[in-house]
Structure 1
Amino acid sequence: MRIKALFSFGLSLIFFFIITFIKPPIDLANAAISQVGCKLPTQSSALLSVLQKCVVPENNPDQFAWELFAFVNQAARFQEKTKQGQSTNNAIWETWADDPLTFPEKPDPSQPPQWPEKLSSPKQLRLRSKVEKSQPDADFIEFQKNQACTPENAPCEEVRRNKPAFNYIMNNDLWYTQGLTAKFQSAQKALLKGESVQDFIKFPLDSIEVKGDWVPITENQKSEFHWNYDEKGDLYGLIAMHISSKALPNWFWATFEWVDNYGRCDYIGCHDLFGVVPHNLPSKQAINQQYSPGKITPELVSLFKEHGLTESWGQEWQHYRLKGSMTDFTDSTGQPLLLGNSITEQGFVPSASCITCHSRAAVTSLGKDAFPIAGFRPFLPGVGETGSKQTVGSAEIQFPNGPLTQSYSGSPDPNWFYRGISVQNSAGVVDVQAEEILKNLQMDFVWAIPFNAKPAP
């Protein structure tokens, strides 16, 4: 009897130990979505199935923006050594395929680029894509692309994409000019058959692209930034970050800034209903000033903890603030919605719209960039001629005293992509448009394709 009682007691202890200390493996593929938020997994392989059940991008866009931020900024499993022997400080997005890997200088269709299974190539920073007046009184702009960046001409920039986005570019031959030409021809044939080409280029649901802008910093400034080294061993701090996700048909857009950026909330304010209080910071009348950091919410602290953004790694990311998120071209009244980063959209923040600008990512029948100056309209007269220099990190950045140009905003113009053929009736009156001819083929909001694809020899 005593032995039976002891045996039962022993089984009870074992059962208690199992349910208390041993957790069953989490089925990330079938993980339920919380009603108060979309909990992204810690494994990239499970991202697609979770997003398919997620409605947060539209209903709680600021929360989803921070979910993406915490997801892509998990510490990478693999680090590397620079040529000078420094150890990198990579977040997972910094190990994804960058533009130089995705779009080689001399593409060979028989040997497409391969996904970096452990690490991408060392950080190759480029001059940020910005607009400048080539001459003080010029009426045109200079749009910089693919120019090498050094600490002396920072901010520097990089664009990276996750494996689903990378594979889509490779599998559809969107990484070189001849592939784009063939895609355009196929789309034109489909259009002439009466088929829609709106989704002719359509990235998978779990695609993510990240743009990061960097300035040189000193060793003593590491604690104030997410920091990393470039391929030459120069030390940089992150000051701006765009994240775009195909979670919505026209992508989801979010932009983040280093908390002490000058002019962070200028012109259009800063808006975040999830991660910081106060939730809204209006623009100051005097531009190029610093803004209050506000206070990070307990919900954001909890989110960071869930994704391993804790201790010294988590402290790096508490120096960043959401500028805003975007899910549509206009509000319910038809007014254009605006979103622009003080660094990446410097010079046109008052009219910036991530979604409208990227809708113009398109190629011509020759597979070339349809809009070499992206989403920009002509210069505004008499503004932005001079500005002030401010120290960010250890870099001196010139801030204009006003907008240099205008960006398109609001709904896209069909004339950017189609031209119609009209016919006359027997009375010589022009009838309605008989058919549409493809003028430029959209690249599903991905500027990296028309910007970077090059012809195969």
Structure 2
Amino acid sequence: MEVKANWVPADEVDSADYYVSEAPDGKKYALVAMHIISKVLPNWTWATFEHQNNPGRCDYTGCHDAYGAVVADVDANEVLDRPYSACAKNDALKAVLGSAGLSPVWEHYCLKGSQTDFVSATGVPTQLGNSVTEAGFADTSSCITCHARAAVNAKGIKTTPAGFVDPPIPALCPNPSGSCSPNGAPDPNWFWTNPGKLDQAAVAMPTDFIWSIARHAIGH
């Protein structure tokens, strides 16, 4: 399992509503967003959470939580970066949190959505992006597709610095001057020359969705 978290100085928010951690230097920080990924499925399970006070937390894709939220599906606002209603939790999730001995502040964190595959059952690319972690490209973000690009070549050197479409392709990127994430199924050309042909040759080896392996490979 891997957790990626975003923090802000605790004095910038009403810290009573946040999970707060103290750093080694004594400064306190409040958790505002996090990704949790788990290798329980071949393509991993991807989930992203945001504090309910984050403006724009359901932008672009809406928020979807069929397990723990009283309102399972929240539509995206027409105007970006606006507040959303609190993500009230149902009794079943409250019982789970309580039995685990977790603080009530965790009820203020909302599941934006999850991914288990690159496309839906009808072939539509799935998307998932956090307004904090993916700020600037949440409109195209796909956690699973971005991480699928994590790879190294025969010398152990990462083949791309990140999962972005580089250079941006106007047909895929609403804002070609900014960052843009690929979504949908992986492109065979990321890993092969002449993919599907008799003379195809491997040019990159995927690192099982783990960027930290690609970025700290032996040839780095």
- For the criterion TM > 0.5, the same-fold answer is yes
Pairing partner for 2:15 from 192, 214, 222: 222
* Shift, 1:364, TM fit: 1.5
1:404 equivalent to 2:168? Answer no
* Shift, 1:242, TM fit: 0.4
Counterpart Cα distance in 1 of 2:206 and 2:148: 7
Structure 2 unaligned runs (5+)? none
* Shift, 1:306, TM fit: 2.3
* Shift, 1:221, TM fit: 3.2
Counterpart Cα distance in 1 of 2:94 and 2:158: 42
Counterpart Cα distance in 1 of 2:13 and 2:144: 38
* Shift, 1:377, TM fit: 4.3
* Shift, 1:345, TM fit: 1.0
* Shift, 1:451, TM fit: 2.1
Counterpart Cα distance in 2 of 1:269 and 1:295: 16
* Shift, 1:455, TM fit: 5.6
Q: 1:294 to 1:317 in 2, by over 3 A?
A: closer
Q: Give the number of the structure whose alpha-carbon radius of gyration is greater.
A: 1
1:450 equivalent to 2:214? Answer yes
Q: Which residue of 2 is the match for residue 69 of structure 1? A: none
* Shift, 1:379, TM fit: 4.2
Pairing partner for 1:439 from 179, 188, 203: 203
- 8 Å contact 1:330–1:411 — kept in the other structure? yes
1:288 equivalent to 2:81? Answer yes
* Shift, 1:363, TM fit: 0.7
Q: Which residue of 2 is the match for residue 315 of structure 1? A: 104
Paired AA for residue 365 in structure 1: A
Q: Which residue of 2 is the match for residue 272 of structure 1? A: 65
Number of aligned positions between the proteins? 218
Q: Which piece of structure 1 moves more, 352-361 or 372-381? A: 372-381
* Shift, 1:344, TM fit: 0.8
Paired AA for residue 183 in structure 2: S
Question: What SS is found at the alignment partner of 2:37?
Answer: strand
TM-score normalised by L of structure 2: 0.90
Cα shift readout 1:114-170 (whole Å, capped 9, x = no counterpart): xxxxxxxxxxxxxxxxxxxxxxxxxxxxxxxxxxxxxxxxxxxxxxxxxxxxxxxxx
* Shift, 1:375, TM fit: 3.1
Pairing partner for 1:356 from 131, 145, 148: 145
What aligned pairs does 1:94-105 form with structure 2 within 5 A after superposition?
A: none
- 8 Å contact 1:378–1:405 — kept in the other structure? no
Q: 1:438 to 1:384 in 2, by over 3 A?
A: closer
What aligned pairs does 1:74-89 form with structure 2 within 5 A after superposition?
A: none
Q: Which residue of 2 is the match for residue 203 of structure 1? A: none
Paired AA for residue 359 in structure 1: A
1:262 equivalent to 2:49? Answer no
- RMSD across aligned C-alpha pairs, in angstroms? 2.5
Paired-residue identity, %: 41
Counterpart Cα distance in 1 of 2:119 and 2:93: 28
What aligned pairs does 1:369-408 form with structure 2 within 5 A after superposition?
A: 369-379=158-168, 404-408=178-182
| Runs ≥4 residues deviating over 4 A | 379-385
Q: Which residue of 1 is the match for residue 5 of structure 2? A: 212
More helix by share: 1
